[in-house]
């Protein structure tokens, strides 16, 4: 070694706020078909401290259960006023939110459908790869037959349920994301 020092190791980020000057967290417009909802929560680390510089991305089907994706060729109608993708950085309180619509059920295979859900990716400092999870709706009866939820141990399923409440006449679902430790959110290895 000719007197050169090794480069010190570093964690990933925090850099998400640089790329998120304008959050993309309003998925529904006045023309979007479906029931308006807000999904919101806080991202916590393993010590239950808030993560003020995480990024949450969501993908979801429209109210008819169709994705705006070239691979979704089903006859369910597309909604030209709904993109189905959003991105939001967490604030200093670890808080994120999306104004969207409640998605419809989507197929799992030729015989079964999945309960309405929102697919989520979480990016945060210290993560070398993003984390994948889903937010299901705690007031949705179709959850009992969802084939993906059935793969999750019963005692862990509550970490995938967004809690319904009404706030000033608005439907809000609370979905906190815990990156590790006690009550860690279920993450999927896809």
135 contacts 118 by C-beta, under 8 angstroms: yes
Q: Tell me what pLDDT residue 141 has.
A: 96
* pLDDT at residue 15 is higher than 80: no
Domains of the chain: 16-178 (2.60.130.10)
Residue 121 φ/ψ, nearest 5 degrees: -120, 140
The predicted-structure confidence for 111-125, as pLDDT tens digits, reads as follows 999 999 999 999 998
Cα atoms found within 13 Å of the Cα of residue 137, Cβ hemisphere only: 23
pTM for the model stands at: 0.87
Q: Tell me what pLDDT residue 9 has.
A: 44
């Amino acid at each position: 070694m000719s007197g050169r020092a090794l480069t010190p190791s570093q964690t990933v980020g925090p850099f998400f706020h640089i790329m998120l000057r304008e959050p993309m967290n309003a998925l529904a417009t006045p023309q979007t078909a479906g029931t308006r909802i807000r999904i919101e929560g806080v991202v916590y680390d393993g010590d239950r401290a808030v993560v003020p510089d995480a990024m949450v991305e969501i993908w979801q089907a429209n109210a008819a259960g169709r994705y705006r994706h070239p691979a979704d060729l089903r006859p369910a109608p597309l909604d030209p006023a709904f993109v189905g993708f959003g991105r939001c950085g967490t604030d200093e309180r670890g808080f994120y939110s999306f104004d969207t619509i409640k998605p419809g059920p989507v197929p799992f295979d030729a015989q079964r459908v999945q309960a309405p859900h929102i697919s989520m990716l979480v990016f945060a400092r210290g993560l070398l790869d993003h984390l994948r999870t889903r937010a299901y709706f705690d007031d949705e009866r179709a959850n009992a037959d969802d084939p993906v939820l059935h793969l999750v141990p019963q005692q862990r399923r509550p970490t995938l349920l967004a809690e319904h409440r009404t706030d000033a006449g608005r439907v809000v679902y609370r979905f906190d994301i815990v990156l590790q430790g006690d009550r860690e959110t279920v993450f999927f290895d896809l």
